Amino acid sequence: MVRFESVGLRYGQAAQAEPEVLQDLSFVIPEGGFRWLLGPSGAGKTSLLRLMYLAVRPTRGRLSILGADIERAERRALPGLRRRIGVVFQDFRLLSHLSAYDNVALPLRLAGRPEGQIRADVMEMLRWVGLLDKLAARPAQLSGGEQQRVAIARAVICRPRLLLADEPTGNLDEVQAERLMQLLKEMNRIGTTVVVATHNDAMVARHVARSLRLDHGRLVSA
């Protein structure tokens, strides 16, 4: 479950000098829920996702992610929580010196999974995203769409409880985008909470679900 109660967020050390990028956000996403995150560029979608994948802590308000109160949680408790959250970044955020295989295997290795058990899962995931023939390629050797698919495989390989995606279809063709949506819905069907930030109105229209709409850092509909 994800719960926001009057959450505000500012960036920077001189907090009082910076305006809040998110203001008074209050909403609940139940466990196993699916939400589109909508709004114009600069509305605060990425900042909201950053709060959810624990890249920042709220400046005010109460934030609960997967049962943990983030504003009060000890720092050492966060890595375990992060391993239960999968994120597909807009800019992929792949490690450039690692192969596609190693990028996808990384969350499993960080979780301490034995190497012998990793291989089958990674190969299956790469097969699913259609990159089995590119498993040794580094990100620089892959197209934008292929990098996006590696990022998606990395995000879901640990079967996260919360899956966040920031413009996940931006670099995919229609077929791949549809396959991604099927994956996200399948993950959602087996209990994963899914939040997808997008500008793709056609995709939103095809896959009807509740949405969170932001504008100027405020929630205008939930």
Partner 1 sequence: MARPSRRRRALLRPAGFDELGLRRALSDRMLPFLVAAMAFLAALAFAGAVGAASLAHHWREGAGASLTVQVPHGEAPATGQAGTRLAAVVALLRGTPGIREARALTDDELAELLRPWLGSGVERLSLPLPAVVQVRLADASTELGGLAPRLEAAAPGTLVESHGVWIGRLTALARSLQACAGVALVVVAAVASAVIAVATRAGLAARREAIEIVHGLGATDSYIAARFASRATLLAGAGGLAGAVAALPVLLELASLATPFAGLQPDDATQGGLGVLPPVLWLALPGLPLAAAAIGFLTAQGTVRRWLRRLP
Binding residues for partner 1 (CB under 8 A): 53-57, 75-76, 78-83, 87, 93-99, 101-102, 105-107, 109-111, 115, 119, 123-124, 127, 132-133, 135-136, 154
Cβ nearer to partner 1, comparing 75 with 205:
75
Provide the minimum distance between the beta carbon of 159 and partner 1 in the complex, in angstroms, as a whole number.
13
Closer Cβ to partner 1, 98 or 222, answer by number: 98
How many whole angstroms separate alpha carbon 188 and alpha carbon 107? 20
User: Closest approach of Cβ 112 to partner 1, in Å?
Assistant: 9
Residues across the chain: 222
CA 69 to chain centroid, in Å, comes to 19
Pick between residue 29 and residue 135 the one whose CB is nearest to partner 1: 135
Rounded to whole angstroms, the Cα distance separating 142 from 182 reads 23
Q: How far is the CB of 82 from partner 1 (least distance, A)?
A: 4
- Report yes or no: 70 and 64 within 8 Å, Cβ to Cβ: yes
Residue from 51, 69, 71 nearest 60 by CA: 71
Residue 148 DSSP SS3:
helix
Rounded to a whole number of angstroms, the minimum distance from the CB of residue 111 to partner 1 is 7
19: CB partners within 8 A, 6+ apart? 10
Nearer to partner 1, 132 or 204 (CB): 132
